[in-house]
Amino acid sequence: MIETKEIRVDYGDVHAVADLTVSIPTGEVYGLIGPNGAGKTSLIRVLATLLKPTYGDARIANIDVVEEPARVRRLLGYMPDLAPVYEDLRCWEFLDLFGAAYFVSRRERRRRIDACIDQVGLQSKRQAIAGTLSLGMKQRLVLAKTLLPDPEVLLLDEPASGLDPMARIDMRNMIRDLAHSGKTILISSHILNELSEFCGSIGIMEKGRLILSGRIDEILASLSHKKRIVVETLDPAARAAEVLSGLDGVSSCKAEALRVEFDLDGDESDVAELLRSLVDRGIRIKAFYERQQGVEDIFLQIGAKEVS
């Protein structure tokens, strides 16, 4: 659905995006990760037809975003970071403006405005002046505006930036619902935990380059064959760590108070065998589990931190 080939975006002498190639299939939720200044916003603005790439191809639904921006725009919903709103319009007027601008008939518009307001949880603010809303509510309003024309592709640039923890959770839940609706979503963020829950694939950007891209599970598998095991004990964990360090396949053992965490190079039967060994040696175990690695682990292992 979304394809870029050797996209480059330059601002004077600065390469904001450098030779970036990525392909996002239909229905995929793709998270774009990177520190501030990595080129995420520039890439999204190119895809949104708001910025011409210096070089390279970008296509959405096989339509060239540079050559046929008008056709591409019909497929797109774009939400910029720190999403601005018309401060002097009421919430429903703001949505009505864009419904009309997307040629939605009046009757249908009314229905969709209600649906979108419900979807983002702004029912009580329908008549409120947009300028009086909190930042989180403004973000929701812009998300509602983005969803109103029912676009096939959503480009969400830092949708949760600047939000307090509660608003961030709400926004995450809303995007997770959208992800389940089958839309193709490209979402950028530098807050890693946000993306773990609903992204099928991720791309990590650094200095304008895409240094890693693919499905999260495949990336994790390629990065490490080891399992990260956590053991919680009733006695001080030092004893458990001592036992573990003498076992085959165990490495990076880290004990703190009543908890010990380590890598195990082995399969499921090796995990079971290890548990039996601990119990046999008198370690009183409260919990024993494999910790699922996430986007944060990938990011930390890749070590991307430089801006362009």
Give the interface with other proteins as residue ranges (CB under 8 A): 8, 10, 12-13, 48-50, 52, 54-55, 57, 66, 69-70, 73-74, 76, 78, 80, 84-86, 88-90, 93, 97-98, 100-103, 105-107, 109, 145
Question: For residue 161, how many other CB atoms are within 10 A of its CB?
Answer: 18
User: In this complex, which beta carbon is closest to other proteins, that of residue 86 or of residue 289?
Assistant: 86
Residues 196 and 297: their CA atoms lie apart, in Å, by 10
Question: What torsion, rounded to 10 degrees, do the Cα atoms 200, 206, 208, 212 define?
Answer: -40
Q: Which two tokens stand for residue 186?
A: 């490209």
Contacts of 131 (CB under 8 A, 6+ apart): 85, 87, 88
Residues 3 and 1: their CA atoms lie apart, in Å, by 7
Residue 185 CB, nearest approach to other proteins (Å): 17
Residue 160 CB, nearest approach to other proteins (Å): 18
User: In this complex, which beta carbon is closest to other proteins, that of residue 20 or of residue 85?
Assistant: 85
User: In this complex, which beta carbon is closest to other proteins, that of residue 11 or of residue 289?
Assistant: 11
Cβ contact 287:232 at 8 Å: yes
Cα dist. 92→88, 110, 135, 138, 299 in Å?
12, 9, 17, 12, 40
Residue 88 CB, nearest approach to other proteins (Å): 4
* Beta pairing partners, 227: 264
User: In this complex, which beta carbon is closest to other proteins, that of residue 97 or of residue 167?
Assistant: 97
User: In this complex, which beta carbon is closest to other proteins, that of residue 13 or of residue 280?
Assistant: 13
Residue 179 CB, nearest approach to other proteins (Å): 22
Residue 190 CB, nearest approach to other proteins (Å): 20
